[in-house]
């Protein structure tokens, strides 16, 4: 009997340990439960504003001369005189002799043509005198009117032949005089030399190039536009400033600028035309900006607008644009913005009618966003309608400023600047 009891002792020990564990677990105090809340997302917002403003778009292009030609000789001969201005970059006036061809042969031809004209005039006078004598003799000998005499009797064919020879001599004289004048090579406009290909003593055949020149009266810049930019600026394909009216006020102004050295230079121009076709390679529309008198009407640094210079062009729209202005960075997926309303996030559709580097303008009729809405500009991961957010109002005065408005140019002290910076951020809470 004792042996049987001893065999059950390990089992009793195990059961006792298990019972002790359960008793201790039941006597353990229960910890208080705490409710875990997800942190509320803080977002930056900017109030949308309804504005009617003059908009503009920025482009880039290369300057080229409106008139760029190659000067060629129209006569044959040796170069006997070259102007000091006939160098690359040299400036010349309209009609100024740049280069002169040897005119000895052409002066001889001119004298010969003048003599031929004088001889032909004498022949005409002789034939006219003979005709008058024949007419008088007809009346005296025949006793009949001159109208009944034959043309040969009145010497009319000989008179006509003499007059024809005089006309031919005059034509040869005009040609000889023209050839002589062509020995003096010039351009019909004020301009500058791009390159030269003739030197003193060089023999030039007719049609040989002596150099390339361009007119300094006006410069033009070709700029590419997308169809969206054409629509935003209120333009149309085939637009021409000359067809819209010659008044200066009717022109669409363009501000042309470029960095030359360490300073930015500026010139005033206008939109001359918009192509009436679309480029087949790039699918873009090209427009032409014209700057008149670029070599005299320059900036305060007196740098001319020369061909080959890359420039920035700011082109004003033809009409004012009315709509709800919002920061460009607030546009989501191209046609949506996030708006804070009473502490929650709302998604609203927008139809953008104009965009710039800083802001966008939404159509007030086709868009859900209205003036005064607090538009969210900061990233919102996993955004959904009804999402709880805490707003931080950011007054972005630069992006909401009307481009036409004058900026306040008064300088601020360090203390004033810091205070303004602090006031531009306002905690509004959820």
End-to-end CA distance of the chain: give it in Å, rounded: 80
Residue at a domain's end among 182, 208, 229: 182
Q: Which two tokens stand for residue 362?
A: 């939404």
Where is pLDDT greater, at 343 or 35?
A: 343
The pLDDT of 258-264, averaged and rounded, is 84
- 296 and 328 in a single domain? The answer is no
Alpha carbons 338 and 44: distance in angstroms, whole number: 11
225 inside domain: yes
Give the confidence band of 38 by pLDDT, cuts at 50, 70, 90: low
Whether residues 118 and 144 share a domain: the answer is yes
- In the predicted model, is pLDDT for residue 196 greater than 70? yes
Residues 331 and 422 both lie in one domain: yes
C-alpha triplet 10, 14, 16: angle, nearest 5°? 115
- Structure tokens of 137? 């003799």
Q: In what order do the strands lie in the sheet with 91-92?
A: 68-72, 209-215, 191-196, 91-92
Distance of CA 401 to CAs 50, 82, 222, 301, Å? 12, 59, 30, 30
Q: Residues 341, 421: one domain?
A: yes
* Greatest CA separation for the chain: 198
| CA angle centred on 313, ends 406 and 213, rounded to 5° | 135
Look up residue 49 and give its two tokens. Answer: 């504003």
User: Cβ–Cβ contacts within 10 Å for residue 376, how many?
Assistant: 25
Judged by average pLDDT, the poorest of 43-52, 138-147, 321-330 is: 138-147
Q: Which whole number is the average pLDDT over 145-173?
A: 88
User: For the domain that residue 258 is a member of, what is the CATH number?
Assistant: 2.40.30.170
User: Distance of alpha carbon 219 from its chain centroid, rounded?
Assistant: 11
Residue 412, classified by CB atoms within 10 Å of its CB into exposed (0-12), middle (13-18) or buried (19+), is exposed
Instruction: Indicate the residue among 182, 202, 224 that finishes a domain.
Output: 182
In Å, how far from its chain's centre is CA 59? 6
Model confidence, pTM: 0.64
pLDDT digits (tens, 9 = 90+) for 358-392: 888 888 888 889 988 999 999 998 888 988 888 87
Look at residue 352 in the predicted model and tell me its pLDDT: 87
The candidate with the shortest Cα–Cα distance to 50, out of 290, 367, 413, is 367
pLDDT at residue 302 in the model: 66
Strand partners, 286: 224
In this predicted structure, what is the pLDDT of residue 415? 39
Burial category of 208 from C-beta neighbours within 10 Å (exposed 0-12, middle 13-18, buried 19 and up): middle
Instruction: Give the span between the Cα atoms of 197 and 209, in whole angstroms.
Output: 7
pLDDT score at 412? 36
Confidence of residue 420 (pLDDT cuts 50, 70, 90): very low
Q: Which residue has the higher pLDDT, 35 or 196?
A: 196
Average pLDDT rounded to a whole number, residues 248-269: 84
Residues 325 and 425 in one domain: yes
Establish if 173 belongs to a structural domain.
yes
* Phi, psi values for residue 46, rounded to 5°: -130, 130
Q: Which of 61-70, 216-225, 332-341, 411-420 has the lowest mean pLDDT?
A: 411-420
Domain that holds residue 255: 56-66+216-316
Mean of the pLDDT values across residues 270-276?
92
Tokens 């230079």 appear where?
265
Q: Is residue 19, in this structure, part of any structural domain at all?
A: no
Q: Is residue 76 part of a domain?
A: no
- Do 311 and 220 lie in a common domain? yes
Interatomic CA distance for residues 238 and 218, integer angstroms: 21
* CATH classification at residue 395: 2.40.420.20
423 inside domain = yes
Backbone angles phi, psi at 100, to 5 degrees: -130, 135
Whether 282 maps to a domain, the answer reads yes
Average pLDDT score over the chain: 82
Quick one: 286 and 337 in the same domain? Answer: no
pLDDT at 40: 82
Domain edge (last residue) among 316, 349, 369: 316
Q: Are residues 365 and 299 in the same domain?
A: no
Q: Could you tell me if 257 and 302 lie in one domain?
A: yes
The answer on pLDDT for 409 being more than 90 is no
| Three-state secondary structure readout of the chain | CHHHHHHHHHHHHHHHHHHHHHHHHHHCCCCCCCCCCCCCEEEEEEECEEEEECCEEEEEEEEEECCEEEEECCCCEEEEEECCCCCCCCEECCCCCCEEECCHHHHHHHHHHHHHHHHHHHHHHHHHHHHHHHHHHHHHHHCCCHHHCCCCCCCHHHHHHHHHHHHHHHHHHHHHHHHHHCCEECCCCCEEEEEECCCCCCEECCCCEEEEEEECCEEEEEEEECHHHHHHCCCCCCCEHHHHCCCHHHCCEEEEEEEECCEEEEEEEEEEEECCCCCCCCCCEEEEEEEECCCCCCCCCCCCCCCCCEEEEEEECCCCEEEEEEEHHHCECCCEEEEEECCEEEEEECCEEEECCCEEEECCCCCCCCCCCEEECCCCCCCCCCCEEEEEEECCCCCCCCCCCCCCCCCCCHHHHHHHHHHCEEEEEC
393: pLDDT strictly greater than 80: no
Does 385 reside within a domain?
yes
Total structural domains in the chain? 3
Higher local confidence (pLDDT), 420 or 46: 46
Model confidence over 93-133: pLDDT tens digits? 999 999 999 999 999 999 999 999 999 999 999 998 988 88
Same domain? 339 vs 424? yes
Q: What angle do CA 353, 232, 396 make, to 5 degrees?
A: 60
Query: What was the pLDDT predicted at 243?
Result: 62
* Amino acid 298: pLDDT: 54
| In a domain? residue 199 | no
* Residue 393 and residue 362 share a domain: yes
Q: Does 241 lie in the same domain as 172?
A: no
Identify which of 388, 337, 380, 389 has the alpha carbon closest to the alpha carbon of residue 362: 337
> 402 pLDDT band (50/70/90 cuts)?
very low
Say which residue, 423 or 26, is predicted with more confidence.
26
Give the Cβ contact number of residue 43 at 10 Å. Answer: 21
Res 34 pLDDT > 90: no
Lowest mean pLDDT across 83-87, 148-152, 188-192, 338-342:
148-152
């Amino acid at each position: 009997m004792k042996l049987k009891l001893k065999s059950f002792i390990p089992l009793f020990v195990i059961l006792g340990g298990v019972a002790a564990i359960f008793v201790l677990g039941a006597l353990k105090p229960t910890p208080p439960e705490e409710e875990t809340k997800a942190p509320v997302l803080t977002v930056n917002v900017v109030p949308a504003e309804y504005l009617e403003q003059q908009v503009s778009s920025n482009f880039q292009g290369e300057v080229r001369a409106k008139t760029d030609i190659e000067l060629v000789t129209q006569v044959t001969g040796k170069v006997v005189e070259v102007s000091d201005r006939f160098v690359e970059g040299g400036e010349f006036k309209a009609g100024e002799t740049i280069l002169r061809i040897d005119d000895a042969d052409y002066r001889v031809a001119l004298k010969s043509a003048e003599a031929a004209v004088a001889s032909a005039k004498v022949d005409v006078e002789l034939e006219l005198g003979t005709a008058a004598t024949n007419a008088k003799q007809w009346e005296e000998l025949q006793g009949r009117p001159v109208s009944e005499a034959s043309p040969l009797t009145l010497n009319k064919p000989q008179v006509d032949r003499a007059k024809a020879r005089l006309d031919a001599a005059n034509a040869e004289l005009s040609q000889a005089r023209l050839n002589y004048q062509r020995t003096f090579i010039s351009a019909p406009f004020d301009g500058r030399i791009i390159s030269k290909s003739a030197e003193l003593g060089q023999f030039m055949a007719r049609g040989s190039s002596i150099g390339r020149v361009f007119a300094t009266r006006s410069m033009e810049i070709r700029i590419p536009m997308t169809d969206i930019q054409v629509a935003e600026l209120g333009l149309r394909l085939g637009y021409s400033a000359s067809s819209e009216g010659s008044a200066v006020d009717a022109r669409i102004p363009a501000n042309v600028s470029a960095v030359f050295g360490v300073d930015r230079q500026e010139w005033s121009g206008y939109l001359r035309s918009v192509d009436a076709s679309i480029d087949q390679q790039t699918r873009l529309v090209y427009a032409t900006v014209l700057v008149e008198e670029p070599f005299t009407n320059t900036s305060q640094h007196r740098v001319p607008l020369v061909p080959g210079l890359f420039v920035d062009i700011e082109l004003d729209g033809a009409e004012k644009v009315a709509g709800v202005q919002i920061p460009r960075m607030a546009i989501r997926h191209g046609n949506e913005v996030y708006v804070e309303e009473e502490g929650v996030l709302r998604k609203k559709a927008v139809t953008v009618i104009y965009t710039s580097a800083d802001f966008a303008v939404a159509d007030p009729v086709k868009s859900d966003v209205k003036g005064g809405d607090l538009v969210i500009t900061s990233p919102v991961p996993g955004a959904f309608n009804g999402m709880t957010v805490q707003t931080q109002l950011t007054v972005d005065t630069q992006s909401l400023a009307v481009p036409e408005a004058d900026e306040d140019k008064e300088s601020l002290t360090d203390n004033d600047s810091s205070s303004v910076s602090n006031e531009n951020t306002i905690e509004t809470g959820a």
